[in-house]
Amino acid sequence: MMHTSQTESAKKDRVNLSMNSELVQKAKALNINLSKELEKHLDKLVAERQQQVWKEENQEAIKQYNSRVLTDGLFGDKLRQF
């Protein structure tokens, strides 16, 4: 996930969004910075989706690794003294 300092210094693009106008008015009345809040939540959502995609793409390798650990144990199991 991006850190605040990275997002604040990152190049900004203008975008057009359609949002519930009543919700936007309430946010403005509460001095909520829509751009900042959207960026913060979008950053979190992107990180979550990237993690999900990585897990899906590596699911077979993870399954094979877990199977190998079940049959062969962990690399250092034979070296442990406890």
- Rounded to an integer, what distance in angstroms lies between the CA atom of residue 11 and that of residue 43? 14
- Rounded to an integer, what distance in angstroms lies between the CA atom of residue 8 and that of residue 2? 10
Domain boundary assignment for the chain: 39-82
> What predicted TM-score, i.e. pTM, was given to this entire model?
0.68
pLDDT: which is higher, 44 or 71: 44
Task: Give the model confidence (pLDDT) of 2-56 as tens digits.
Answer: 555 466 788 999 999 999 999 999 999 999 999 999 999 999 999 999 999 999 9
- Residue 1 has a pLDDT of 54
pLDDT at 79 over 90: no
pLDDT at 61 over 70: yes
